[in-house]
A and B are shown apart, each in its own frame.
Chain A
Amino acid sequence: MSTQNNNVTITSVMMPIVEFPVVTEQTILKEALEEMDNLHLGVACVVNNEGHLLGILTDGDIRRKLLSVQKPLSAFFIDDAIEHAIINPIVISPSHSLYDAVVLMDKKRVWDLPVVDNKKLVGLLHLHPVVNALLNR
Protein backbone atom coordinates (compact mmCIF):
# COMPACT_ATOMS: atom_id res chain seq x y z
CA MET A 1 0.00 0.00 0.00
CA SER A 2 1.25 3.41 -0.88
CA THR A 3 0.08 6.07 1.52
CA GLN A 4 1.43 8.96 3.48
CA ASN A 5 -0.49 7.92 6.57
CA ASN A 6 1.23 4.68 7.60
CA ASN A 7 1.59 5.99 11.12
CA VAL A 8 -2.08 6.69 11.76
CA THR A 9 -3.19 4.84 14.87
CA ILE A 10 -6.14 2.51 15.10
CA THR A 11 -7.58 4.34 18.10
CA SER A 12 -7.71 7.62 16.18
CA VAL A 13 -9.82 6.12 13.43
CA MET A 14 -11.91 3.47 15.14
CA MET A 15 -15.54 4.11 15.99
CA PRO A 16 -16.13 4.41 19.72
CA ILE A 17 -18.50 1.97 21.44
CA VAL A 18 -21.50 4.31 21.38
CA GLU A 19 -21.35 4.74 17.61
CA PHE A 20 -21.73 1.14 16.51
CA PRO A 21 -24.10 -1.66 17.56
CA VAL A 22 -23.05 -3.44 20.74
CA VAL A 23 -25.49 -5.98 22.16
CA THR A 24 -25.43 -8.49 25.01
CA GLU A 25 -25.87 -12.24 25.31
CA GLN A 26 -29.49 -11.57 26.26
CA THR A 27 -30.29 -9.51 23.17
CA ILE A 28 -32.64 -11.22 20.77
CA LEU A 29 -31.93 -11.19 17.06
CA LYS A 30 -34.72 -8.76 16.23
CA GLU A 31 -33.34 -6.16 18.66
CA ALA A 32 -29.83 -6.62 17.33
CA LEU A 33 -31.06 -6.05 13.78
CA GLU A 34 -32.89 -2.91 14.89
CA GLU A 35 -29.70 -1.65 16.52
CA MET A 36 -27.77 -2.30 13.31
CA ASP A 37 -30.45 -0.48 11.36
CA ASN A 38 -30.51 2.50 13.73
CA LEU A 39 -26.74 2.94 13.49
CA HIS A 40 -26.57 2.20 9.77
CA LEU A 41 -24.00 -0.55 10.08
CA GLY A 42 -24.06 -4.14 8.88
CA VAL A 43 -22.39 -5.48 11.98
CA ALA A 44 -23.17 -5.85 15.68
CA CYS A 45 -20.74 -6.90 18.38
CA VAL A 46 -21.95 -9.21 21.15
CA VAL A 47 -20.33 -8.69 24.54
CA ASN A 48 -20.72 -10.20 27.99
CA ASN A 49 -21.25 -8.29 31.24
CA GLU A 50 -17.55 -7.46 31.44
CA GLY A 51 -17.57 -5.99 27.96
CA HIS A 52 -15.56 -8.89 26.57
CA LEU A 53 -16.25 -9.59 22.91
CA LEU A 54 -18.08 -12.90 22.42
CA GLY A 55 -18.90 -12.71 18.74
CA ILE A 56 -20.04 -10.57 15.88
CA LEU A 57 -23.19 -10.65 13.84
CA THR A 58 -23.16 -9.36 10.28
CA ASP A 59 -25.67 -8.74 7.51
CA GLY A 60 -24.03 -11.59 5.65
CA ASP A 61 -24.56 -13.99 8.55
CA ILE A 62 -28.24 -13.10 8.62
CA ARG A 63 -28.54 -13.40 4.85
CA ARG A 64 -27.03 -16.88 4.95
CA LYS A 65 -29.27 -17.89 7.85
CA LEU A 66 -32.37 -16.63 6.06
CA LEU A 67 -31.47 -18.90 3.17
CA SER A 68 -30.80 -21.92 5.37
CA VAL A 69 -32.97 -21.67 8.48
CA GLN A 70 -36.48 -22.85 7.66
CA LYS A 71 -38.28 -21.86 10.83
CA PRO A 72 -40.87 -19.06 10.94
CA LEU A 73 -39.50 -15.54 11.01
CA SER A 74 -41.14 -14.99 14.41
CA ALA A 75 -39.11 -17.88 15.82
CA PHE A 76 -35.94 -16.61 14.14
CA PHE A 77 -36.43 -13.11 15.56
CA ILE A 78 -36.58 -14.31 19.15
CA ASP A 79 -33.39 -16.36 18.99
CA ASP A 80 -30.56 -14.82 20.96
CA ALA A 81 -28.39 -12.84 18.57
CA ILE A 82 -25.35 -14.71 19.86
CA GLU A 83 -26.81 -17.95 18.42
CA HIS A 84 -26.32 -16.56 14.93
CA ALA A 85 -23.06 -14.72 15.57
CA ILE A 86 -19.56 -15.68 14.56
CA ILE A 87 -17.78 -16.76 17.71
CA ASN A 88 -14.11 -15.83 18.04
CA PRO A 89 -14.17 -13.36 15.14
CA ILE A 90 -11.12 -11.75 13.59
CA VAL A 91 -10.11 -8.81 15.76
CA ILE A 92 -7.22 -6.41 16.08
CA SER A 93 -5.46 -4.90 19.05
CA PRO A 94 -5.24 -1.09 19.34
CA SER A 95 -1.47 -1.40 19.59
CA HIS A 96 -1.23 -2.31 15.91
CA SER A 97 -0.89 0.28 13.17
CA LEU A 98 -3.75 1.16 10.89
CA TYR A 99 -1.70 -0.26 8.05
CA ASP A 100 -1.63 -3.65 9.81
CA ALA A 101 -5.39 -3.45 10.19
CA VAL A 102 -5.97 -2.72 6.51
CA VAL A 103 -3.71 -5.58 5.49
CA LEU A 104 -5.69 -7.86 7.78
CA MET A 105 -9.04 -6.62 6.44
CA ASP A 106 -7.86 -7.25 2.92
CA LYS A 107 -6.48 -10.67 3.71
CA LYS A 108 -9.65 -11.78 5.52
CA ARG A 109 -12.00 -9.96 3.14
CA VAL A 110 -13.87 -8.15 5.94
CA TRP A 111 -15.25 -4.63 6.15
CA ASP A 112 -15.26 -4.40 9.91
CA LEU A 113 -12.68 -5.25 12.55
CA PRO A 114 -13.57 -5.15 16.23
CA VAL A 115 -10.78 -3.53 18.20
CA VAL A 116 -10.11 -5.57 21.30
CA ASP A 117 -7.77 -4.70 24.14
CA ASN A 118 -7.16 -7.57 26.57
CA LYS A 119 -10.44 -9.30 25.59
CA LYS A 120 -12.42 -6.08 26.05
CA LEU A 121 -14.14 -4.49 23.08
CA VAL A 122 -12.94 -0.89 22.77
CA GLY A 123 -14.00 0.10 19.27
CA LEU A 124 -14.72 -0.88 15.71
CA LEU A 125 -12.68 -0.28 12.62
CA HIS A 126 -15.06 0.23 9.72
CA LEU A 127 -13.56 0.24 6.24
CA HIS A 128 -14.90 3.64 5.08
CA PRO A 129 -13.37 5.77 7.87
CA VAL A 130 -10.16 3.78 7.44
CA VAL A 131 -10.05 4.57 3.73
CA ASN A 132 -10.70 8.23 4.46
CA ALA A 133 -7.90 8.33 7.00
CA LEU A 134 -5.47 6.65 4.65
CA LEU A 135 -6.40 9.07 1.89
CA ASN A 136 -5.70 11.88 4.31
CA ARG A 137 -9.24 13.29 4.09
Chain B
Amino acid sequence: MKNNNMNTVEVGYGKVDKVKVGYKLPLVFIGGPCAIENEDHAFKMANDIGEICLKLNIPWIYKSCYDKDCRSSPDSFHGTGIDSGLKILSDIREKFGVPVVSDFSDPEWATATGEVCDLVQIPAYLCRQTSILRAAAKTGRPIHLKKGQFMSPWNMKNSVRKLEANGCNQIILADRGTFMGYNMLVNDMTSFPIMNRTGYPVCFDATHSIQLPTSMGNISGGQREFIPFLVRAAVGCGINALFMEVHDNPKNALSDANTVLDLKYLENILAQAKIMHETRLEILDKFGEDNVHPE
Protein backbone atom coordinates (compact mmCIF):
# COMPACT_ATOMS: atom_id res chain seq x y z
CA MET B 1 0.00 0.00 0.00
CA LYS B 2 1.45 3.34 -1.05
CA ASN B 3 0.83 6.15 1.38
CA ASN B 4 -0.80 8.26 -1.29
CA ASN B 5 -3.48 5.57 -1.59
CA MET B 6 -4.24 5.90 2.11
CA ASN B 7 -7.87 6.27 3.09
CA THR B 8 -8.76 9.62 4.59
CA VAL B 9 -10.77 9.21 7.77
CA GLU B 10 -13.38 11.89 8.36
CA VAL B 11 -14.40 12.38 11.97
CA GLY B 12 -17.38 14.47 12.97
CA TYR B 13 -21.10 14.47 12.35
CA GLY B 14 -23.69 17.18 12.89
CA LYS B 15 -22.51 20.60 13.98
CA VAL B 16 -19.04 19.83 15.33
CA ASP B 17 -15.86 20.81 13.50
CA LYS B 18 -15.07 18.08 11.02
CA VAL B 19 -11.61 16.61 11.36
CA LYS B 20 -9.81 14.73 8.60
CA VAL B 21 -7.02 12.27 9.32
CA GLY B 22 -4.91 11.11 6.41
CA TYR B 23 -2.11 11.50 3.96
CA LYS B 24 -0.46 14.93 3.79
CA LEU B 25 -3.15 16.39 6.04
CA PRO B 26 -2.46 18.44 9.18
CA LEU B 27 -1.53 16.43 12.24
CA VAL B 28 -4.65 15.74 14.32
CA PHE B 29 -4.55 15.74 18.10
CA ILE B 30 -6.73 13.28 20.00
CA GLY B 31 -6.68 14.07 23.69
CA GLY B 32 -8.31 14.64 27.02
CA PRO B 33 -8.46 13.08 30.45
CA CYS B 34 -8.28 9.28 30.48
CA ALA B 35 -11.63 8.91 32.19
CA ILE B 36 -14.56 11.27 32.53
CA GLU B 37 -14.36 12.23 36.20
CA ASN B 38 -17.30 14.61 36.42
CA GLU B 39 -19.03 17.18 34.25
CA ASP B 40 -17.18 20.23 35.57
CA HIS B 41 -13.78 18.66 35.08
CA ALA B 42 -14.64 17.35 31.64
CA PHE B 43 -15.81 20.79 30.57
CA LYS B 44 -12.76 22.49 32.00
CA MET B 45 -10.45 20.12 30.16
CA ALA B 46 -12.34 20.54 26.91
CA ASN B 47 -12.12 24.30 27.30
CA ASP B 48 -8.42 24.42 28.20
CA ILE B 49 -7.25 21.91 25.59
CA GLY B 50 -9.48 23.56 23.00
CA GLU B 51 -7.85 26.93 23.65
CA ILE B 52 -4.38 25.47 23.14
CA CYS B 53 -5.39 23.72 19.92
CA LEU B 54 -7.06 26.88 18.66
CA LYS B 55 -3.95 28.92 19.44
CA LEU B 56 -1.74 26.41 17.62
CA ASN B 57 -4.28 25.82 14.86
CA ILE B 58 -4.28 22.06 15.43
CA PRO B 59 -7.43 20.11 14.59
CA TRP B 60 -8.45 18.00 17.55
CA ILE B 61 -10.81 15.40 18.93
CA TYR B 62 -11.76 15.33 22.60
CA LYS B 63 -11.04 11.96 24.21
CA SER B 64 -12.39 10.71 27.49
CA CYS B 65 -13.87 7.37 28.46
CA TYR B 66 -17.01 6.69 30.45
CA ASP B 67 -15.97 3.25 31.70
CA LYS B 68 -12.37 2.11 32.00
CA ASP B 69 -12.81 -1.62 32.12
CA CYS B 70 -9.14 -2.55 32.14
CA ARG B 71 -8.16 -1.26 35.57
CA SER B 72 -5.64 -3.37 37.45
CA SER B 73 -7.43 -3.16 40.77
CA PRO B 74 -11.07 -3.89 41.60
CA ASP B 75 -11.00 -0.68 43.64
CA SER B 76 -9.77 1.59 40.84
CA PHE B 77 -12.02 4.28 39.41
CA HIS B 78 -13.94 3.02 36.39
CA GLY B 79 -15.55 6.23 35.18
CA THR B 80 -18.94 7.80 35.41
CA GLY B 81 -20.70 4.95 33.64
CA ILE B 82 -22.20 4.85 30.21
CA ASP B 83 -25.32 6.96 30.62
CA SER B 84 -23.92 9.96 32.44
CA GLY B 85 -20.61 9.71 30.57
CA LEU B 86 -22.18 9.82 27.16
CA LYS B 87 -24.41 12.68 28.30
CA ILE B 88 -21.31 14.67 29.28
CA LEU B 89 -19.62 13.88 25.95
CA SER B 90 -22.74 14.91 24.10
CA ASP B 91 -22.83 18.20 26.02
CA ILE B 92 -19.15 18.80 25.21
CA ARG B 93 -19.88 18.34 21.52
CA GLU B 94 -22.73 20.79 21.82
CA LYS B 95 -20.90 23.44 23.80
CA PHE B 96 -17.44 23.32 22.24
CA GLY B 97 -18.22 22.05 18.74
CA VAL B 98 -15.45 19.50 19.04
CA PRO B 99 -15.80 15.86 17.94
CA VAL B 100 -15.48 13.36 20.76
CA VAL B 101 -14.17 9.83 21.21
CA SER B 102 -14.59 7.22 23.92
CA ASP B 103 -13.69 3.58 23.94
CA PHE B 104 -16.11 0.81 24.84
CA SER B 105 -15.36 -2.57 26.37
CA ASP B 106 -18.61 -4.48 25.96
CA PRO B 107 -20.33 -5.13 22.63
CA GLU B 108 -23.61 -4.07 24.23
CA TRP B 109 -22.25 -0.57 24.78
CA ALA B 110 -21.35 -0.05 21.12
CA THR B 111 -24.63 1.31 19.77
CA ALA B 112 -25.02 3.95 22.46
CA THR B 113 -21.37 4.92 22.11
CA GLY B 114 -21.73 5.36 18.36
CA GLU B 115 -24.88 7.42 18.75
CA VAL B 116 -22.91 10.08 20.63
CA CYS B 117 -19.25 9.71 19.72
CA ASP B 118 -17.84 10.94 16.43
CA LEU B 119 -15.02 8.41 16.70
CA VAL B 120 -15.34 5.05 18.44
CA GLN B 121 -12.27 3.61 20.10
CA ILE B 122 -11.34 -0.03 20.56
CA PRO B 123 -9.13 -0.63 23.60
CA ALA B 124 -5.73 -2.17 22.95
CA TYR B 125 -6.44 -5.19 25.15
CA LEU B 126 -9.56 -5.94 23.08
CA CYS B 127 -8.15 -5.20 19.64
CA ARG B 128 -8.64 -8.71 18.33
CA GLN B 129 -12.00 -9.49 19.95
CA THR B 130 -14.32 -10.28 17.07
CA SER B 131 -17.48 -9.34 18.97
CA ILE B 132 -16.02 -5.93 19.88
CA LEU B 133 -14.79 -5.26 16.35
CA ARG B 134 -18.09 -6.33 14.83
CA ALA B 135 -20.06 -4.13 17.22
CA ALA B 136 -17.73 -1.19 16.55
CA ALA B 137 -18.10 -1.51 12.80
CA LYS B 138 -21.88 -1.66 13.10
CA THR B 139 -21.96 1.78 14.74
CA GLY B 140 -21.11 3.26 11.34
CA ARG B 141 -18.66 5.65 12.98
CA PRO B 142 -14.95 5.86 12.19
CA ILE B 143 -12.94 3.55 14.41
CA HIS B 144 -9.80 4.30 16.42
CA LEU B 145 -8.21 0.87 16.69
CA LYS B 146 -5.36 0.55 19.14
CA LYS B 147 -2.67 -2.05 18.58
CA GLY B 148 -2.56 -4.43 21.51
CA GLN B 149 0.66 -4.33 23.49
CA PHE B 150 0.92 -8.05 22.72
CA MET B 151 0.35 -7.70 18.97
CA SER B 152 2.81 -7.35 16.14
CA PRO B 153 2.01 -4.41 13.87
CA TRP B 154 1.55 -6.70 10.86
CA ASN B 155 -0.98 -8.88 12.68
CA MET B 156 -3.22 -5.81 13.14
CA LYS B 157 -4.25 -6.49 9.56
CA ASN B 158 -6.46 -9.29 10.92
CA SER B 159 -8.34 -6.81 13.10
CA VAL B 160 -8.63 -4.41 10.18
CA ARG B 161 -10.07 -7.20 8.06
CA LYS B 162 -12.64 -7.96 10.76
CA LEU B 163 -13.77 -4.34 10.72
CA GLU B 164 -13.85 -4.28 6.93
CA ALA B 165 -15.83 -7.52 6.83
CA ASN B 166 -18.47 -5.74 8.87
CA GLY B 167 -18.66 -2.72 6.59
CA CYS B 168 -16.13 -0.36 8.17
CA ASN B 169 -13.54 1.35 6.01
CA GLN B 170 -12.87 4.35 8.22
CA ILE B 171 -10.11 3.22 10.54
CA ILE B 172 -7.23 4.88 12.38
CA LEU B 173 -4.59 2.47 13.71
CA ALA B 174 -2.73 3.48 16.85
CA ASP B 175 0.46 2.25 18.44
CA ARG B 176 0.63 2.47 22.22
CA GLY B 177 3.77 0.45 22.78
CA THR B 178 4.62 -3.22 22.82
CA PHE B 179 5.36 -5.43 25.79
CA MET B 180 9.01 -6.15 26.35
CA GLY B 181 8.96 -8.78 29.07
CA TYR B 182 6.88 -7.96 32.14
CA ASN B 183 5.61 -4.51 33.17
CA MET B 184 7.55 -2.77 30.42
CA LEU B 185 6.68 -1.32 27.04
CA VAL B 186 8.88 -0.27 24.16
CA ASN B 187 8.05 1.57 20.96
CA ASP B 188 8.94 0.11 17.62
CA MET B 189 8.71 2.99 15.18
CA THR B 190 8.54 0.62 12.24
CA SER B 191 5.00 -0.13 13.39
CA PHE B 192 3.82 3.04 11.65
CA PRO B 193 4.89 2.23 8.08
CA ILE B 194 3.87 -1.39 8.67
CA MET B 195 0.37 -0.50 9.86
CA ASN B 196 0.13 2.15 7.13
CA ARG B 197 0.29 -0.70 4.64
CA THR B 198 -3.25 -1.65 5.61
CA GLY B 199 -4.29 1.50 3.74
CA TYR B 200 -5.31 3.47 6.82
CA PRO B 201 -3.80 6.41 8.69
CA VAL B 202 -1.81 5.83 11.86
CA CYS B 203 -1.75 7.46 15.26
CA PHE B 204 0.81 7.48 18.06
CA ASP B 205 -0.47 7.17 21.62
CA ALA B 206 2.34 8.85 23.49
CA THR B 207 1.05 8.74 27.04
CA HIS B 208 0.25 5.05 27.10
CA SER B 209 3.55 4.26 25.39
CA ILE B 210 5.48 5.47 28.42
CA GLN B 211 3.31 3.36 30.71
CA LEU B 212 4.86 0.67 32.89
CA PRO B 213 1.88 -1.66 32.96
CA THR B 214 0.83 -2.62 36.49
CA SER B 215 4.37 -1.91 37.65
CA MET B 216 3.06 -0.45 40.91
CA GLY B 217 1.52 -3.70 42.05
CA ASN B 218 -2.12 -2.89 41.44
CA ILE B 219 -1.79 0.19 39.22
CA SER B 220 0.42 1.16 36.32
CA GLY B 221 3.43 3.40 36.53
CA GLY B 222 4.88 5.54 33.78
CA GLN B 223 7.90 7.47 32.63
CA ARG B 224 6.33 10.74 31.50
CA GLU B 225 9.69 12.41 31.04
CA PHE B 226 10.04 10.50 27.77
CA ILE B 227 6.82 11.74 26.19
CA PRO B 228 8.37 14.58 24.13
CA PHE B 229 11.16 12.33 22.84
CA LEU B 230 8.74 9.71 21.61
CA VAL B 231 6.38 12.30 20.17
CA ARG B 232 9.14 13.82 18.05
CA ALA B 233 10.25 10.39 16.88
CA ALA B 234 6.75 9.28 15.93
CA VAL B 235 5.84 12.52 14.17
CA GLY B 236 9.11 12.41 12.28
CA CYS B 237 8.24 8.87 11.28
CA GLY B 238 5.11 10.10 9.54
CA ILE B 239 2.10 9.58 11.81
CA ASN B 240 -1.20 11.19 10.90
CA ALA B 241 -2.58 11.73 14.39
CA LEU B 242 -1.16 12.12 17.88
CA PHE B 243 -2.94 10.83 20.97
CA MET B 244 -2.17 11.97 24.49
CA GLU B 245 -4.15 11.81 27.67
CA VAL B 246 -4.01 15.13 29.48
CA HIS B 247 -4.95 16.19 32.98
CA ASP B 248 -4.74 19.49 34.82
CA ASN B 249 -3.82 17.73 38.06
CA PRO B 250 -2.14 14.40 37.24
CA LYS B 251 -1.34 13.58 40.83
CA ASN B 252 -5.03 13.47 41.61
CA ALA B 253 -6.23 12.06 38.28
CA LEU B 254 -8.73 9.29 38.89
CA SER B 255 -7.35 7.16 36.06
CA ASP B 256 -3.83 6.70 34.67
CA ALA B 257 -2.40 9.19 37.14
CA ASN B 258 1.14 8.02 36.38
CA THR B 259 0.93 8.42 32.64
CA VAL B 260 -1.31 11.38 31.84
CA LEU B 261 0.50 14.45 30.60
CA ASP B 262 0.24 17.52 32.78
CA LEU B 263 -1.80 20.11 30.94
CA LYS B 264 0.92 22.69 31.53
CA TYR B 265 3.20 20.85 29.09
CA LEU B 266 0.64 20.29 26.36
CA GLU B 267 1.19 23.48 24.39
CA ASN B 268 4.94 22.97 24.28
CA ILE B 269 4.68 19.39 23.04
CA LEU B 270 1.91 20.07 20.52
CA ALA B 271 3.85 23.05 19.15
CA GLN B 272 6.88 20.83 18.63
CA ALA B 273 4.74 18.12 17.06
CA LYS B 274 3.18 20.59 14.66
CA ILE B 275 6.58 21.89 13.52
CA MET B 276 7.87 18.34 13.16
CA HIS B 277 4.83 17.33 11.14
CA GLU B 278 4.99 20.31 8.81
CA THR B 279 8.69 19.73 8.30
CA ARG B 280 7.99 16.07 7.61
CA LEU B 281 5.48 17.11 4.89
CA GLU B 282 8.08 19.46 3.38
CA ILE B 283 10.58 16.60 3.34
CA LEU B 284 7.98 14.40 1.67
CA ASP B 285 7.42 17.01 -1.03
CA LYS B 286 11.12 17.54 -1.55
CA PHE B 287 12.36 13.95 -1.50
CA GLY B 288 9.21 11.95 -2.29
CA GLU B 289 8.00 8.74 -0.72
CA ASP B 290 10.54 6.59 1.08
CA ASN B 291 11.45 3.86 -1.34
CA VAL B 292 14.66 2.46 0.02
CA HIS B 293 15.20 -1.23 -0.68
CA PRO B 294 11.58 -2.07 -1.53
CA GLU B 295 10.77 -5.77 -1.36
Are B161 and A26 in contact (CB-based, < 8 A)?
Answer: yes
With a CB–CB cut-off of 8 A, which chain B residues contact A68?
295
Inter-chain CA distance A66–B272, complex, in Å, is 41
Interface flag for A69 (CB, 8 Å): yes
Are A74 and B295 in contact (CB-based, < 8 A)?
Answer: no
Are A78 and B157 in contact (CB-based, < 8 A)?
Answer: yes
Interface flag for B279 (CB, 8 Å): no
User: Which applies to chain A's interface (DSSP): helix, strand, loop or mixed?
Assistant: mixed
Give a binary string over B152-169; 1 marks a CB under 8 Å from any A CB, 0 the rest.
101101100100000000
Contact of B158 among A65, A75, A78 (CB under 8 A): A78
**Which of under 10, 10 to 19, 20 to 34, or 35 or more describes the interface residues of B?**
under 10
Inter-chain CA distance A74–B155, complex, in Å, is 8
Give a binary string over A53-84; 1 marks a CB under 8 Å from any B CB, 0 the rest.
00000000000010011001011001100010
Are A78 and B154 in contact (CB-based, < 8 A)?
Answer: yes
Shortest Cβ distance from residue A67 to the other chain B in the assembled complex, whole angstroms: 12
Shortest Cβ distance from residue B295 to the other chain A in the assembled complex, whole angstroms: 5
Inter-chain CA distance A74–B158, complex, in Å, is 12
Contact of B295 among A28, A65, A72, A78 (CB under 8 A): A65
With a CB–CB cut-off of 8 A, which chain B residues contact A78?
154-155, 157-158
Shortest Cβ distance from residue A1 to the other chain B in the assembled complex, whole angstroms: 39
Contact of B152 among A26, A65, A75, A83 (CB under 8 A): A75
**Which of under 10, 10 to 19, 20 to 34, or 35 or more describes the interface residues of A?**
10 to 19
Residue of A nearest to B295 (CB): A69
With a CB–CB cut-off of 8 A, which chain B residues contact A28?
157
With a CB–CB cut-off of 8 A, which chain B residues contact A26?
161
Shortest Cβ distance from residue B126 to the other chain A in the assembled complex, whole angstroms: 20
Inter-chain CA distance A26–B158, complex, in Å, is 11
With a CB–CB cut-off of 8 A, which chain A residues contact B152?
72, 74-75
Inter-chain CA distance A107–B272, complex, in Å, is 60
Residue of A nearest to B155 (CB): A78
With a CB–CB cut-off of 8 A, which chain B residues contact A83?
295
With a CB–CB cut-off of 8 A, which chain A residues contact B154?
74-75, 78-79
Inter-chain CA distance A71–B184, complex, in Å, is 24
Give a binary string over B188-212; 1 marks a CB under 8 Å from any A CB, 0 the rest.
0000001000000000000000000
Q: B106-122: which have CB < 8 Å to A?
A: none
Inter-chain CA distance A26–B165, complex, in Å, is 11
Shortest Cβ distance from residue A29 to the other chain B in the assembled complex, whole angstroms: 11
Q: A2-44: which have CB < 8 Å to B?
A: 26, 28
Show the binding face of A for B, using Cβ within 8 Å: 26, 28, 65, 68-69, 72, 74-75, 78-79, 83
Contacts A74-B155, A78-B157 known; list 14 others, CB within 8 Å: A26-B161, A28-B157, A65-B295, A68-B295, A69-B295, A72-B152, A74-B152, A74-B154, A75-B152, A75-B154, A75-B194, A78-B158, A79-B154, A83-B295
**A-B pairs with lowest CB-CB distance, top 8:** A75-B154, A78-B154, A69-B295, A78-B157, A78-B155, A74-B152, A75-B152, A74-B154
